[in-house]
Structure 1
Amino acid sequence: MEVNAMDARLARLARNGDQSAFAELVGLYKDKIYNLGYRMLGNRQEAEDVVQETFLRVYSNLERYDEAQKFSTWIFRIGTNLCIDRLRKKKPGYSLDAELNEGEGTDMYSMLPSNDPGPEKMLLLTETQDMIHKAIEELPAKYKSAVVLKYLHDLSLQEIGDILGVPVTTVKTRVHRGREFLRKKMEAKL
């Protein structure tokens, strides 16, 4: 069974009160929504909150889900909008876990395994990933959401447009401008 058809079937069953169908949807999408939240917000706790709030909204709005569209697009739109709302409420440049990441190097990037266990290569890799992570955090929200969905979730421009509720041409522009912003930030640091 195709993924889209399976998702639509699970959503239909959950709408009719099948708790195991909803649990299956949660199992399919919780990690994806968490990754989206973490990439956009840079904070594990906020990402977990976004996952919970996303599924609360999905559950309470299942009757509004249009089976003509992909379930993944619908749920990513909800998650992305929640992340954007949180970014708007944050003070610019303020991050709850900034000291923890900088002082102890315990962000997700520093925990990635390396093919070469050499300490020099690991240090270089960690520094580069940290620079990229910080550059992504500095992206304006509209560019950040497009870049995260495109490059970290590997969604098509059409899917991103559906999620963000903007035309594909706008998505292309945001992805391009986000990439340019990241390129300039990286060049300035090197």
Structure 2
Amino acid sequence: MDDEKSLIARAQKGDQEAFAALMEANQGRIYNLTLRMTGNPEDAAELSQEAFFNAWRGISKFQGDSSFATWLYRLASNACIDFLRKEKRRKNISMTVSLDDEEKERQAELPDTRCSPEQEVERKELRAAIEEGLQALSEEHRQVLVMREISGLSYAEIGAVLHLEEGTVKSRIARARLALRKFLVSSGNFSDSASSIT
């Protein structure tokens, strides 16, 4: 397969096959971002498509200052924030919890140990609680936490996506973690004495 730079160059000249290859290489991580931001598979699929549509429309302006993936994250993240703000105005935010165990496993970063059925139930309950907690966060806090803990972006990459200073990213993530921790403690799913959730 062609390397990313040549695919981008071809896509910028209108090559739809090259753009489709770029889409295919990034669709999983973009969908994961939109799913964690919205908590709803249908909304996530629609917003992923919107992000790729916006990428196709704007690819001629892509300068390569950041990686293509970072640029896509910015488009997808902006689409999610716009969507969530509209939903908030309608007071109809979806609180659907994804049952995608594999992704939740990664999100919660639980150790892969042989465990009893009781421990497995506890792990599933914790993953569901974390998912619910993410949906309870503000859009800005959810956004940085998803990018850092689930997508694995560095502070610098998150800063590039959101046009924020690295220090601002770090403090926002710290506040987001604290808010999620408070949610988990108050819902009885996490003990005050336990260590970090991430």
TM over 0.5: yes
Question: What are the Cα deviations for residues 118-169 of structure 1, in whole angstroms up to 9, with x where unaligned?
Answer: 4322221111111111111111111111110001011010100110111111
- Letter paired with 2:78: N
Q: TM-score, normalised by structure 2?
A: 0.82
Q: Which residue is 1:80 aligned to?
A: 77
Give 1:135's aligned amino acid.
Answer: G
Name the aligned partner's letter for residue 81 of structure 1: N
Query: Aligned AA for 2:173?
Result: V
Q: 1:120 to 1:49 in 2, by over 3 A?
A: same
Alignment partner, residue 180 of structure 1: 178
Which is further off, 63-72 or 32-41?
Answer: 63-72
- Aligned with residue 31 of structure 1, among 28, 39, 59: 28
- Matching residue of 1:155: 153
Q: Distance in 2 between matches of 1:37 and 1:86?
A: 10
Alignment match, 1:7 = 4
Distance 2:156 2:137 in 1: 21
| Structure-2 separation of matches of 1:95 and 1:121 | 32
Letter in 1 for 2:142: K
Name structure 2 gaps, 5 residues minimum: 106-111, 189-198
Query: What is the distance in 1 between the residues matched to 2:114 and 2:7?
Result: 43
1:138 maps to 136
After superposition, the CA RMSD in angstroms is 2.5
Deviation string, structure 1 residues 37-59 (Cα, Å, up to 9, x no partner): 00110000011001111111111
> What is the Cα deviation at residue 87 of structure 1?
1.0
What is the CA–CA distance in structure 2 between the aligned matches of 1:139 and 1:145, rounded to whole Å?
9
Q: What residue in structure 1 maps to residue 60 of structure 2?
A: 63
- The share of aligned pairs that are identical, in percent, is 30
1:107 corresponds to which letter in structure 2? L
Matched, 1:107 2:106: no
Task: Name the CA distance, whole Å, in 2 between partners of 1:123 and 1:111.
Answer: 17
Letter in 2 for 1:82: A
TM-score, length of structure 1 as denominator length:
0.85
The alignment partner of 1:91 has SS state of helix
Structure with more of its chain in helix, by fraction: 1
1:53 aligns with 2:45: no
Q: Which residue identity is paired with 1:177?
A: R
